[in-house]
Chain A
């Protein structure tokens, strides 16, 4: 969203934010302009200006730092700095001395990189680690001249920088550590870092080296600093030398394996874990030399970790992922601490772990003694912390190969990012239902204690891959489906047949019901009905019943639904060419209306309305020679002016419709009407459906805030000043309750509203979307719509929206075993009571998240069952019931709960919960609540499930080790933390969008997928391995693709080979690439083909056509792109992953103490 707008607006982009510039400058300048960077940082850490200066560079390119580190050539580093980090970074490493030649170096660099990237965690981590350090490196450059000492100084600065990101951590950590770990030697350093004061000391040392700024600090800090400073400098040199080389090498090799395991990680695991991860990190390997020189300073943190890696490596590998963590640590000397940490994947606090490490580690000692202790506290190595990429890769490789068979109760399915086949053997496919936990606490006390929300994300009409069979349609004849007498649950595999099959006992409420005679069947010796395998409702998790007339509105079988296209023909819409486009498209699109599998033509009828200040209905009856237009100006009291001829069969009225669609753009070509109405448009559609006595869907194409005199007229109430105030919530609330009432009427009639918006300014999505939202419709928004650039995206969306499978007039009910109850629902729907979810329309992409609460005890033996029954009208007008059943385990041990959680689902729930919260509470409250809940979840784990360890360690459950990173993404999302360029409409739009997303969508939405295109294997179908969303993972010699379900960015580094540019964009140089492109040119070369096929592949996967944005490095659009590098600190104040992790740790520790 923001993407779109930004792209259009231009200005925002054009002018990088001051902060931004500042950022870069510092980077360049290195020392030069501390002030600027500081300010930015200031926002961040605030604390130390001195630090910040150095920081900027860091933030940018840790990797650079590395290269720069390459003591060999300070020049290199410089050069690298000047260009893009990536480029430079890479260059240095690869080229080593040669770096200067970017071109040459690039390739190699890329390779290296790619490896890293592939290296996953390992590489990635190193990279990240490097970044942190790099800043220092960069600094080093500046000071460059000075050898080690300089480097040290630089390192300090680096510290400072890292502080930005790391600082928080360090601060927190420090705080923590201080509290807890004070004793340990490392702490001191940590202390120094954490608090501003402490920092000074460090700087002090630095200052000593050169910077005046620091000096003051030094003085004050004097004592501590010394130790620190010493440690640092020392550490650096030593580090680089030994650790780095060792680490890297090992890491690379084993790297992969370990990282996954390390997931658990954490700071705590640092020494060990970090070690493990880092080793994997490319940086290490690639830039041994560099590391040696530069890294030292920054590395200290890393370094500390790196060393362990080698050792860890060994350890981790052997162990499984989970154990991996543990594994590594155990090997490490500090058995216990390491262990725990590893097990849990806990993040040790830097210090805490370090100390341990230091002691335990063999290799560490060096580190520990010198760099290890001090640095660790300060920084958290990004590579050491759980990597989503790694987790995804692991799951993919571990579980992607064999089908997921649903026969077993409480089985955790593979991740949404994994391709797997599902075999339905009694439980619904995870494509239909996913739960936050597949093992539910037996009691509400446990549930409360853990704070893990119990929720299911249900996508009742999900599309299945062609290899999987659709739910069977079961017809129980006139009497309708067999149901429990008491709770009305539908027959399902969990019903117990007793008394020889004459009765069955309900698995939900235990009530015993007679089996109707026509349904009777004998039981076999195991108590199973003989016809078990013949009846889908007895053997499968998902199936459909044919509904009888009792299930129909007014006891009448429904008529086939209708689609009504309602097109804004005001000046804006005409001028942009939108109307013509829509009309042209509809001509062909109408042949692809959804139809029941075996039918020759769609049963859906269509109707057309155009409108500006008044509405125009069209009579397109087949018998007419030309269409008739009927204008209704009485918008205050909307009605449908015609009955016959409004909704028609496409084939019968083909010529009339075609002539109408030809006429519409002509008729309004000269319009000067700029005002529009909106509510009357929906009313009109609603009335039309009412008159036709059918359900249906309205496709409304709308361009502006409806300010014409009519019901539902809106005011421009956009006010960014409200952000971060208690009134912010009003921005998400509709202006008037009018639309709520309208929505209610729509739902009652089964009138689903899909909204395509083409705003050039604020049009109050929060209000306009109310009806769409409550009727189960979709909103599509194309800000600053331009035919050339947005046409494809809009048309693809429209096509998909029109063609996709959809049910109407739906009611969904979730029944559960006694003991839990569905209490809360999230999604696009309307509820008139507390149990029934009503949707005027429900398509294959719509998802409902249901939260459960205990109202009694569950038993471990019987587990917990869910039955989701969806009553709907198919697109051919058939009334059906779709049933999904899912059985879950129940536990009395919290550990079981934590072992069977699914973080992606959890995030889906939390995001929806939070996004609903902003309607009623200040955003800050919502954010705090989120953080708090997660902290409680993790703290509970730590307290009850993890083996005892130092409080300084952050220990995460394996299943939830990504919770912090994902949660941070949610917290940073535009809704909860808007950047200055994010419009109110965008926020409202995203809010509504997310609310009906499924798990896969939220996953990629919050943690975008970043693919290095230059690493793609041109000859295979596979996607290149994703890398983590951090700027420091980018190489300026590469091209990357980032997608989040709404946008695709193609990021081109400044140093990308000309050949690649030529191949991909058809232009000869970087500067000629136009970022106005909305598609990639079709070029006949393997690379172009590959990239385009990747994009096509991604487009197919998503429910919306993503907007393609070409971002050139250092271009104004890059700001936008960086917004999606979610592991980094965001411009709007969102914490970086590392910082947030530290913050979480602090929170957890507070909870524990």
Chain B
């Protein structure tokens, strides 16, 4: 097993791929009996320090339907300068540049250690990154001030040649022109009117003038950039202007009467932002960054009316079909999201408000375009400020950890077909021989578009074994999958990353133990969870839970060892041992349970769950609990109420929250001030330890988790109590007390 664990880890590190099964059942029938589908978690841009990109174009299989990239698994005839595609078995001539190829002089893509390789290609003009800020001005003065400062700060973090634009909205939507001297100029739109892309472009003067040829001068070429640059300007040129502009930004001046919400035209603002980019920079990497401090209250995409007495929809309302604006709003944002995705742009949503802000309706904007979604209580919190700052973090090589306009192309060997993908992507509708008719997630295609991604963005890709039972795969045969990701690097280069992996086939009847041993329960849990969450978006909660339960039961049936009617005899092998526990916590997680969560929160959690990598996903499913005490070094403990002891400090990381919980005694000690007494310095250290660890987590986590410091009996302790397995409840606790 150890070997498998190592293998899995090695594979993940090298290729960013984790399969649920690392030995594949060789027939369709067997595969379905395995319960957990053959699938993988793919992190397309996994950061790799040891992967220098090569500066040439990949060599493609010449079969038009295949076009697989030359890889280490291909058979190569060095003398004939031929290679055989390992997916379609087409024999291909090497291109002239490969004339010097030989066994000892192999190109990188043929070396086994380069099962993942990255090409830099020169295609088309390079356009700078584009950041379009869409800023809500219906904020409290403090919030707005904080937001303004964050935005001003961000200018210094942007690449100097990046283009920035600014749209502000409240009752109206203003598109600011950034190149003006002496007067600040903006285009204003009514917040209540849905405009078509064409109208928006006309109104912004982006459409080509009808009489450009009048002068007889070929003005065409210079004209394009001139026009678009009115609203999107290179940072280095206008950062002073923009800083001033942001500085002068006022709260939305329209009076808000008592008992009303401010009128906020988020829907139109987004629509204009999308239209603006669509008209100026289609198919170029661009982020629309929406900063909103409340729900859209007017116009298309409104989520709630402006009467405060009607609260924003809750799950209860939605279940009762009582959310009047939801469907319409959702449709509006979906349309926008699809347009944005089609243009290769992405939408980030930074929603900071105590109440809901309509993330439920807007989630697709981020989900379909690969944008970020951040939810906070206020822009004036470190949660937002640091999260936002972290957007512009740079990777180890000094490059922004963001990429744009990626398309993921998956190729499989014949025994496999692609059932679908779940993640921040949309289908490119590429039908092909390797596309399954059975869809799991976003299916019916072998290509997906991921408008924005970062090194941790992870997609779940589901396969289907199509090999018939009676057509056994030759012993030692390997199934292969190739992932080709083309994307715009943050340096604006076009790059292609190719990952080719292969796994052994095994006959489930004769070699079940092999398959069993090669089960990756962590990956499987996350893959199943993604399926569950994906279903939960469209199905009733209980149905999903039932489905999940059934899957677990079937899995246990298949792989468990037990004697009938003897529950205690039940055993699972080590490779399955944690899986039920994951499922248990998954059932209780906010991804499937909406109770005690607002629709916005659910959307937020699900959003992140659908894009984080395996480790983070697992943390989300089953939060990590560390215990600090005088009894020994910090240790992970069971996420169980029994882990809550008076003399312990607990650190819980749920991904979204980090909770530090002081046990009853510890809390009393702290109150008594022992930590300040020199003789109790060890207590001080004990108190400090979880803080340091938490800090470490905070350093790397995106988005910033909510940081909660509480103690026994504190109101915030609920965050911990709601997560732990309630093995001790008031019932048995009481009983226990009676006993004593």
> Does A577 make an interface contact (CB < 8 A)?
no
Chain B binding surface SS class: mixed
User: Closest B-chain residue to A633, C-beta based?
Assistant: B203
A614 within 8 A of B: yes
Which of B172, B204, B253 is within 8 Å of A645, CB to CB? B253
List residues of chain B with CB within 8 A of the CB of A659: 182-183
Question: A641 touching B172 by the CB < 8 A rule?
Answer: yes
**Smallest distance from the beta carbon of A853 to chain B beta carbons, Å?**
49
* A641 touching B248 in the complex, CB below 8 Å, given contacts A629-B183, A660-B183, A663-B183: no
Question: Given the complex, which residues of B lie within 8 Å of A662, measured CB to CB?
Answer: 182
Q: How many A-B residue pairs have CB under 8 A?
A: 71
A491 to B254, CA, bound (A): 44
A631 contacts the other chain (Cβ, under 8 Å)?
yes
Interface segment, B77-85, B184-192, B280-288, B675-683? B184-192
Residue of B186, B195, B203, B250 near A629 (CB, 8 A) is: B186
Annotate B177-208 by CB proximity to A: 1 below 8 A, 0 otherwise. 10010111111111001010001001111000
The digit string for B688-731, where 1 denotes a CB below 8 A from any CB of A, is 00000000000000000000000000000000000000000000
In the complex, the answer to whether A630 meets B183 with C-beta atoms within 8 Å is no
Distance, CA A663 to CA B189, complexed state (A):
23
Give 1 or 0 for each of B245-279: 1 = CB within 8 Å of chain A CB: 00010100111000000000000000000000000
A627-B183 contact, Cβ under 8 Å, with A634-B195, A634-B203, A639-B190: yes
Distance in angstroms from A549 CB to nearest chain B CB is 22
Q: Which residue of B lies closest to A645 (CB)?
A: B253
B183 touches A631 (CB 8 A): no
Report how far A645 CA is from B255 CA in the complex, Å. 14
| Alpha-carbon distance A644/B182, docked complex (angstroms) | 20
Question: Is B188 a contact of A631 with CB atoms below 8 Å?
Answer: yes
In the assembled complex, the CB of A1064 is this many whole angstroms from the nearest CB of chain B, namely 47
Say which size band chain A's interface belongs to.
Answer: 20 to 34
Complex partner residue of A631 from B186, B193, B199, CB under 8 angstroms: B186
Is A468 part of the contact surface with B, judged by Cβ < 8 Å? no
Q: Which residues of A contact B195 (CB under 8 A)?
A: 634
Q: Is A626 an interface residue (CB 8 A)?
A: yes
A644 to B251, CA, bound (A): 11
Contacts A641-B172, A643-B253 hold; do A631 and B187 have CB atoms under 8 A apart?
A: yes
B521 at interface, CB cutoff 8 A: no
The reply to whether the CB of A408 lies closer than 8 angstroms to some CB of chain B is no
Given A630-B187, A633-B204, A633-B205, CB of A642 within 8 Å of CB of B193: no
Known A-B contacts A633-B202, A633-B203; the reply to A628 vs B187 at CB < 8 A is no
> Contact partner of A663 among B182, B186, B250, CB < 8 A?
B182
Q: Number of B residues whose C-beta is below 8 Å from A?
A: 26
* Interface flags, A271-290, vs B, CB<8A=1, else 0: 00000000000000000000
Cβ of A599 within 8 Å of any chain B Cβ, yes or no, is no
- B180, B203, B248: the one within 8 Å of A625 (CB): B248
By a CB distance below 8 angstroms, the chain A residues around B253 are 642-645
Does B174 have its Cβ within 8 Å of any Cβ on chain A? yes
Given A614-B203, A625-B248, A643-B253, are A632 and B188 also a contact pair (CB < 8 Å)?
Answer: yes
Assess whether A1083 is interfacial by the CB under 8 Å rule: no
Q: Which residues of B contact A614 (CB under 8 A)?
A: 203
The interface residues of chain B lying within 8 Å CB-to-CB of A633 are 187, 189, 202-205
A641, A643, A666: the one within 8 Å of B174 (CB) = A641
Q: How far is the CA of A633 from the CA of B230 in the complex (A)?
A: 15
Chain A minimum-CB-distance residue to B244: A625
Residue of A nearest to B175 (CB): A631
B:209-263 near A, CB below 8 Å = 244, 248, 250, 253-255
Contact residues in A for B193 (Cβ distance below 8 Å): 634, 637
* Contact A617 to B182, CB < 8 A, known contacts A634-B203, A637-B193: no
Q: 8 Å CB contacts to B: which residues of A628-679?
A: 628-634, 637, 639, 641-645, 659-660, 662-663, 666-667
A1152 part of interface (Cβ distance < 8 Å): no
Measured CB to CB, the closest approach of chain B to A583, in angstroms, equals: 13
Query: Is B183 within 8 A of A628, CB to CB?
Result: yes
- Judge if A624 is at the interface, Cβ distance under 8 Å: yes
Min CB–CB distance A226 → chain B (angstroms): 77
Q: For the complex formed, measure the closest distance between the CB of A417 and the CB atoms of chain B, giving whole angstroms.
A: 51
- CA–CA, A659 and B182, complex, Å: 8
Q: Mark A595-622, 1 if CB is under 8 A from B, else 0.
A: 0000000000000000000101100000
Encoded as 1 (CB less than 8 Å from any B CB) or 0, chain A from 252 to 286 comes to 00000000000000000000000000000000000
Chain A residue at minimal CB-CB distance from B188: A641
Q: With A633-B204, A642-B253, A643-B253 known to touch, is A628 a contact of B190 (CB < 8 Å)?
A: no
Most chain A CB neighbours (cut-off 10 Å) among B183, B189, B193, B250: B183
Instruction: Give the distance in Å from the alpha carbon of A633 to the alpha carbon of B248 in the complex.
Output: 23
Chain B residue nearest to A631 (CB atoms) is B187
Check if B172 sits within 8 Å of A639, measured CB to CB.
Answer: yes
In the complex, the chain A residue whose C-beta lies closest to that of B190 is A639
* Chain B residues near A641 (CB-CB < 8 A): 172, 174, 188
Interfacial chain B residues near A626, Cβ < 8 Å: 182-184
CA distance A660 to B203 in the complex (A): 23
The answer for the CA separation of A662 and B255 in the assembled complex, in Å, is 31
* Alpha-carbon distance between A624 and B180 when the two chains are bound, in angstroms: 15
Contact, CB under 8 Å: A630 / B248: no
> Could you tell me the distance in whole angstroms from the C-beta of B449 to the nearest C-beta in chain A?
32
State whether B184 touches A628 (Cβ < 8 A).
yes
Complex CA distance for A659 and B185, rounded to whole angstroms: 14
Contact indicator B254/A643 (Cβ below 8 Å): yes
Q: Which residues of B contact A667 (CB under 8 A)?
A: 180, 183
How far, in whole Å, are A627 and B255 apart by their CA atoms in the complex? 22
Determine the residue in chain B with the shortest Cβ distance to A660. Answer: B183
What A residues does B172 contact at CB under 8 A? 639, 641-642
> Which residues of chain B (596-617) have a CB below 8 Å from chain A?
none
Across-interface contacts of A617 in B (CB, < 8 A): 188
Q: What is the bound-complex CA distance between A660 and B255, given in angstroms? A: 26
Give bound CA distance, A645 to B188, whole Å: 15
CA distance A299 to B677 in the complex (A): 135
CB distance from B375 to the nearest CB of A (A): 30
Q: Select from chain B the residue with minimum beta-carbon distance to A614.
A: B203
In the complex the two chains form, is A628's CB within 8 Å of B203's CB? no
Q: B200: shortest Cβ distance to chain A, in Å?
A: 9
> Distance in Å from the Cβ of A609 to the closest Cβ of chain B?
12
Given A645-B253, A660-B183 in contact, is the A630-B174 Cβ separation under 8 Å? yes
With a cutoff of 8 Å between Cβ atoms, the chain B residues found around residue A627 in the complex are: 183-184
Return B95 CB to nearest CB of chain A, in Å.
Answer: 52
User: What residues of A have a CB within 8 angstroms of the CB of B250 in the complex?
Assistant: 644
Cα distance, A447 to B193, chains bound together (Å) = 59
Across-interface contacts of A642 in B (CB, < 8 A): 172, 188, 253
The residue of chain A having its C-beta at the shortest distance from the C-beta of B204 within the complex is A633
B184 touches A629 (CB 8 A): yes
Of all chain A residues, the one with the shortest Cβ separation from B247 is: A625
Question: Per-residue CB proximity of A960-999 to B under 8 Å, as 1/0?
Answer: 0000000000000000000000000000000000000000
What would 29 A/B residue contacts be, using CB atoms closer than 8 Å?
Answer: A616-B185, A626-B183, A626-B184, A627-B183, A627-B184, A628-B184, A628-B186, A629-B184, A630-B185, A630-B186, A630-B187, A630-B188, A631-B188, A632-B188, A633-B202, A634-B189, A639-B190, A641-B172, A641-B174, A641-B188, A642-B188, A643-B253, A644-B250, A659-B183, A660-B183, A663-B182, A663-B183, A666-B182, A667-B180
- In the complex, besides A627-B183, A629-B183, A632-B188, 19 extra interface pairs with C-beta distance below 8 angstroms are A616-B185, A617-B188, A625-B244, A626-B182, A627-B184, A628-B183, A629-B186, A630-B185, A630-B188, A631-B187, A632-B187, A633-B189, A633-B204, A634-B189, A634-B190, A641-B172, A641-B174, A643-B255, A667-B180
List the 9 closest pairs (A to B, CB-CB), nearest first: A633-B203, A641-B188, A644-B253, A629-B185, A631-B187, A630-B188, A643-B253, A628-B184, A663-B183
